[in-house]
């Protein structure tokens, strides 16, 4: 997943930076909230129950999820939840999955990876320039 952001218009909410649509933001927030309510982790079964509840439209968040003027029930396809929400969150380091214990946990690896990327950038700008040659227009 690629994160593109404007440093001059950085939103206050990290979910607005990571996810492309308002619905994805809301679903990701709901997932993290659900995990926080369970001490920062969910079992594989609890994750499946959460995804099924989303799929069936059985989740009604108490706050913030206004698509229009009235609050609406959140419904999100279960397969798309795994493909567009959970998998990207795992690959970015927001969530860890332990194969042995079959548990999803909230992770701080995103922070560590962003610091590593920042260090990579500092190394890049210290490298000497390399030569480039321009092709002559007259030669064919």
The model's pLDDT over 14-53, given as tens digits with 9 standing for 90+, comes to: 999 999 999 999 999 999 999 999 999 999 999 999 999 9
In a domain, residue 107? The reply is yes
What's the CATH code of the domain at 122? 1.10.10
Predicted TM-score (pTM) above 0.75 = yes
What order do you get walking across the sheet with 41-43 strand by strand? 41-43, 103-106, 95-98
Domain count along the chain? 1
Question: Which range of residues forms the domain containing residue 29?
Answer: 14-126
Which pLDDT belongs to residue 71? 63
Question: Percentage of the chain with pLDDT > 90?
Answer: 72
């Amino acid at each position: 997943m690629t994160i593109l952001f404007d440093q001059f218009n950085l939103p206050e909410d990290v979910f607005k930076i990571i996810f492309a649509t308002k619905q994805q933001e809301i679903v990701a927030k709901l997932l993290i909230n659900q995990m926080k309510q369970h001490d920062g982790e969910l079992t594989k079964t609890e994750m499946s129950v959460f995804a099924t509840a989303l799929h069936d439209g059985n989740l009604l968040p108490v706050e913030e999820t206004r698509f229009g003027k009235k609050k609406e029930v959140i419904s999100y396809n279960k397969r798309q939840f795994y493909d567009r929400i959970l998998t990207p969150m795992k690959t970015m380091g927001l969530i860890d999955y332990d194969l042995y214990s079959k548990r999803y946990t909230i992770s701080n690896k995103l922070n560590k990876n962003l610091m590593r990327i920042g260090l990579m950038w500092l190394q890049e700008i210290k490298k000497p320039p390399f030569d480039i040659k321009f092709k002559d227009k007259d030669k064919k």
